[in-house]
Chain A
Amino acid sequence: MHKLLSDQRDKKMLLLGNEAIARGAIEAGLAIGATYPGTPSSEISAALFEISHQSDLYFEYSTNEKVALEVAAAAANCGLRSMAIMKHVGLNVAADALMTLAYVGVKGGMVILSADDPFMFSSQNEQDNRYYGKLSGLPVLEPSSVDEAKEMIKYAFELSEKLQEPVLFRTTTRINHSSGIVTLGDIAPVNSSGDFVKDPFSYVTVPAVSRNLHVKLLKHWDEAKSISENSPYNLIEGDGPCGIVCNGISYNYVSDAVKDLGCEEKVKILKIGFSNPMPESTVKNFLKGCEKVLVVEEGEPYMEETVKAFAQEEGSTIPIKGKSPSHFSRLYEYSPALVRKVIAEYLDLAYQPPAIPDMSDVPEIPQRPPNLCAGCSHRATFYIAKQAAAGMETIIPTDIGCYTLGLLPPMSMADFVICMGSSVTTSCGFSKATNKKVISFIGDSTFFHSGIPGLINAVFNNHNFTLFILDNGTTAMTGHQPNPGVDMTLLNQTGFGRVDIEDVVRAVGVKEVTVIQPFKLKKSIEAVKKAFEFKGVSVVISREMCTLYAKSLKLQKGKRYRVSDKCKNHRDCINQLGCPAFFLNEGRVQINPAQCTGCAVCVQVCPENAILPIKE
């Protein structure tokens, strides 16, 4: 049984934030969940997918976040508790559905989880998704600890049912990837038999209907305001003259700082967990006793703007500070020491900064950037594309996945990326705007996620570029989740279909389609040269299983290689491939047998044929 299905009420468990969220959903009786994987949200879905095989929960990996949100929205409108889980930028993909779903509302509780990533540990931007609450008119909840996250998920479902609206549950990486001690509650039974009651004049959003629905949404918004006012997640601690308004992970930094500085008497903390709509009367009453206010929130000045607006309505002119050069930044994450420093300065308190060691005499430590794995098929594909494009002036749009690491030397095979699917569509633009050869890269999961419309566009508008689809048989970057091209029988899963990428590419009308096995360099380079010569859209499907995935499925080939005495130290292997299994020992290249996966790509690159199999 999955550990999150434990029925031991009051048991204390050490859980990752994402596990606590999954447990909260199970305790709430979640019936239908859908996701597209994305860090830092991925472990929630991994847990729920596994649990779905052992319980009445239905959980799916959808093709993208918009699909996931719509699957969950339909279930919620059949009266079931549903959840859509995604990373922050995923909500951009789902935003079209979100905005009008707010008009339509829900019957069963629906929670939309957006995992934001301040500092961009694993994301292309650090947008603050609380603004989606304002934009859509939907309530936003933000937990500030792992145990609170579990309880708040249950509250989110209840709130959603009370308001008949989906609820946005916004986390940040430091909640998702923190662990803490959680006390288990009861697991509610799953109601998985929904029913849809036809009511087209409430559900079919033609203009005449939507004009009424917008009125309904605003009514729900007013109700949400009064609930926010009395929410247990908006609470005041202390009664000092300096107000501190904070949310999420920042609440912990504030709380520790106040204790460390010994200024409990001087401050009054307003912790906001129900952040949209902001609790107007609560904030206005809070301001009354304050001489000045500091707003501590990572990301944008979301609460700060509202607190200032409330103060203006009250005719208050007390200083309210948040984002400014001398207080807090809109950039990156905060830390306990930073928050302590700013509070000390704002309160004019003596403050001892942490004694960080002087690092000036420490020699430069070599960087350790993430790298494509030893034996990664992407490395081979990049090498092939590079050889086939020798002498061409190229532009290389890439996409979101492990292969974005092709950016790094020695590959240097990435020139442009903004979001999922943009490799294909920006190729359309680059090829119209310039005369350079446009070569782009997209992974299998990303192709299904949002690559296909771009490819159809390229066929229809007759754009001129070569798209590589890197089909490694899994959604590798986020931890090997399924996608529509995955052979689910390898995972001992039945009842799934399978979509063949080559069939899709041919079906949308691409005339020049080549399938390569990237570990066969010579043959592949010839095939790719031909694809590059084609005027129009050509597609190269590079098919080879992710080496980590193969290892986890025990499908890795056994052979390992070594560098023999024939090596004349040209170092083409290191300089052109840069496989991390290579290392230098007294100036000579060697292969770490523990890392070698036997792909034999280096064997084909070595001009002296010096790389030989280890006899086992």
Chain B
Amino acid sequence: MNTTRVILVAVGGQGNLLASSVLGEAALLSQIPVRMSEIHGMAQRGGVVESAMVFGDAKSPVISDGEADVLVGFEPSETLRALKKCNNQTVVITNLEPLPPFTVAIGKGVYPDLNELQNLIRAKTARLISIDAVRLAREAGNELAVNMVLLGALIQTEKLPVKAETVKEVIRTKTKQAFVESNIKAFELGFSAAQQKNK
């Protein structure tokens, strides 16, 4: 089986560990070998959370720079920071709503311009799918479902041998009951948003 490597980067609290766990469970249901590793040191204190997911026969749960097949960024500046994980064949999916780091508020940094950021990513990778995931999550009825929106977009790319129906099945059984409906809706909105971008 071919190996597919996916990096998910987010800011603590954006729910990328839930997203990767849903994806991992979907792989398990689909009988696809999966290995994941996460770096979440001090995530609750505003740091970056990075999950690496390796689908297929490879044994390493870690993804080296330049070797991600897909990068899913939950925050635009973090997507840009993780660009070193990509190569010119990588598909990048990013949420467009910034969560400026505190360093910007205290004048210790300048937040990158969103248009320039997207142009840079486009120039260095195979494809960029930019999504206003917060708006779609809100539309789904839960502002925190950004992770499900991005998951929907990821599945739409068909870069992974995991079917949308399988992911929805996991969302139904493994996410909090009160959020299942909005999570499914968010997933579907993300899926169609990526489809629109494809046209």
Interface of A toward B, CB cutoff 8 Å:
12-14, 39, 121-122, 145-146, 174, 177-181, 249, 251-253, 255-256, 335-338, 353-359, 361-373, 402, 405, 409-410, 548, 574-575, 578, 580, 582-584
Given contacts A249-B62, A253-B60, A373-B45, 20 further A-B contacts (CB under 8 A): A14-B24, A14-B28, A39-B41, A177-B38, A177-B39, A177-B40, A179-B21, A179-B34, A181-B28, A249-B61, A252-B59, A335-B64, A336-B64, A336-B67, A338-B64, A357-B83, A364-B110, A365-B81, A405-B45, A578-B106
Contacts of B77 in A (CB 8 A): 365-366, 368
Interface of B toward A, CB cutoff 8 Å:
11, 21, 24-25, 27-28, 33-42, 44-48, 58-67, 77-78, 80-81, 83-84, 86-88, 100-106, 108-112, 116, 120, 124-125
Q: Are A362 and B80 in contact (CB under 8 A)?
A: yes
Q: Are A252 and B60 in contact (CB under 8 A)?
A: yes
Known: A177-B37, A180-B61, A335-B62. A366 touches B100 (CB 8 A): yes
Contacts of A362 in B (CB 8 A): 80, 83, 120
Q: Are B65 and A179 in contact (CB under 8 A)?
A: no
Q: Are B60 and A336 in contact (CB under 8 A)?
A: yes
Shortest Cβ gap from A266 to chain B (Å): 19
In the complex, residue of chain B having the shortest beta-carbon distance to the beta carbon of A582:
B105
Set A335, A366, A373, A578: member contacting B109, Cβ < 8 A: A366
Q: Are A580 and B102 in contact (CB under 8 A)?
A: yes
Contacts of A583 in B (CB 8 A): 100, 104-105
Shortest Cβ gap from A589 to chain B (Å): 8
Shortest Cβ gap from B162 to chain A (Å): 13
Known: A178-B36, A338-B64, A371-B45. A355 touches B88 (CB 8 A): yes
Contacts of B84 in A (CB 8 A): 356-357, 359
In the complex, residue of chain B having the shortest beta-carbon distance to the beta carbon of A356:
B66
In the complex, residue of chain A having the shortest beta-carbon distance to the beta carbon of B39:
A121
Q: Which 6 A-B pairs have the closest CB atoms?
A: A366-B109, A354-B66, A337-B64, A370-B42, A356-B66, A252-B59
Known: A256-B58, A574-B106, A583-B100. A122 touches B66 (CB 8 A): no
The A interface is mostly helix, strand or loop, or mixed, namely: loop
In the complex, residue of chain B having the shortest beta-carbon distance to the beta carbon of A260:
B58
Cα A121 to Cα B38 in complex, Å, equals 11
Q: Which of B38, B46, B77 has the most CB of A within 10 A?
A: B46
Q: Are A364 and B106 in contact (CB under 8 A)?
A: no
In the complex, residue of chain A having the shortest beta-carbon distance to the beta carbon of B86:
A357
Cα A575 to Cα B100 in complex, Å, equals 17
Q: Are A178 and B37 in contact (CB under 8 A)?
A: yes
Q: Are B125 and A368 in contact (CB under 8 A)?
A: no
Contacts of B27 in A (CB 8 A): 14
Cα A394 to Cα B12 in complex, Å, equals 34
Q: Which of A364, A365, A578 has the most CB of B within 10 A?
A: A365
Cα A353 to Cα B66 in complex, Å, equals 9
Contacts of A13 in B (CB 8 A): 28
Contacts of A365 in B (CB 8 A): 77, 80-81, 109, 112
Known: A121-B39, A364-B109. A357 touches B124 (CB 8 A): yes
Known: A180-B36, A365-B81, A368-B46. A356 touches B65 (CB 8 A): yes
In the complex, residue of chain A having the shortest beta-carbon distance to the beta carbon of B77:
A365
**What are some 10 contacts across the A-B interface (CB < 8 A)?**
A179-B21, A249-B60, A253-B60, A359-B84, A361-B120, A365-B112, A366-B110, A371-B102, A578-B106, A580-B102
Cα A359 to Cα B66 in complex, Å, equals 12
Cα A336 to Cα B68 in complex, Å, equals 12
Q: Are B34 and A181 in contact (CB under 8 A)?
A: yes
Q: Are A367 and B109 in contact (CB under 8 A)?
A: yes
Set A14, A252, A364: member contacting B21, Cβ < 8 A: A14
Set A355, A364, A372: member contacting B66, Cβ < 8 A: A355
Q: Are B47 and A369 in contact (CB under 8 A)?
A: yes
Shortest Cβ gap from B73 to chain A (Å): 12
Cα A306 to Cα B126 in complex, Å, equals 47
Cα A122 to Cα B41 in complex, Å, equals 6
Contacts of A372 in B (CB 8 A): 45
Q: Which of A353, A370, A372 has the most CB of B within 10 A?
A: A370
Shortest Cβ gap from B77 to chain A (Å): 5
Q: Are A174 and B37 in contact (CB under 8 A)?
A: yes
Q: Are A357 and B64 in contact (CB under 8 A)?
A: no
Cα A14 to Cα B24 in complex, Å, equals 7
Contacts of A181 in B (CB 8 A): 28, 33-34
Shortest Cβ gap from B20 to chain A (Å): 8
Set A355, A359, A366, A367: member contacting B83, Cβ < 8 A: A359
Cα A179 to Cα B103 in complex, Å, equals 32
Shortest Cβ gap from B48 to chain A (Å): 6
In the complex, residue of chain A having the shortest beta-carbon distance to the beta carbon of B43:
A370
Q: Are A410 and B87 in contact (CB under 8 A)?
A: no
Cα A177 to Cα B52 in complex, Å, equals 11
Cα A357 to Cα B84 in complex, Å, equals 6
Contacts of B116 in A (CB 8 A): 363
Cα A370 to Cα B44 in complex, Å, equals 8
Cα A335 to Cα B106 in complex, Å, equals 35
Q: Are A354 and B45 in contact (CB under 8 A)?
A: no
Contacts of A355 in B (CB 8 A): 66, 87-88
In the complex, residue of chain A having the shortest beta-carbon distance to the beta carbon of B3:
A256
Contacts of B62 in A (CB 8 A): 174, 249, 253, 335-336
Cα A39 to Cα B39 in complex, Å, equals 11
Contacts of B105 in A (CB 8 A): 574, 580, 582-584
Cα A165 to Cα B37 in complex, Å, equals 33
Contacts of A174 in B (CB 8 A): 37, 61-62
Contacts of A366 in B (CB 8 A): 77, 100-101, 103-104, 108-111
Shortest Cβ gap from B84 to chain A (Å): 6
Contacts of A145 in B (CB 8 A): 35, 59
Cα A122 to Cα B44 in complex, Å, equals 13
Shortest Cβ gap from A580 to chain B (Å): 5
In the complex, residue of chain B having the shortest beta-carbon distance to the beta carbon of A480:
B44
Set A122, A363, A367: member contacting B103, Cβ < 8 A: A367
Q: Are A255 and B59 in contact (CB under 8 A)?
A: yes
Cα A383 to Cα B136 in complex, Å, equals 40
Q: Are B103 and A369 in contact (CB under 8 A)?
A: yes
Cα A39 to Cα B43 in complex, Å, equals 13
Known: A363-B116, A365-B81, A369-B47. A354 touches B38 (CB 8 A): no
In the complex, residue of chain A having the shortest beta-carbon distance to the beta carbon of B31:
A12
Contacts of A255 in B (CB 8 A): 59
Set B42, B67, B83, B125: member contacting A354, Cβ < 8 A: B67
Cα A355 to Cα B77 in complex, Å, equals 21
Shortest Cβ gap from B67 to chain A (Å): 5
Cα A368 to Cα B40 in complex, Å, equals 13
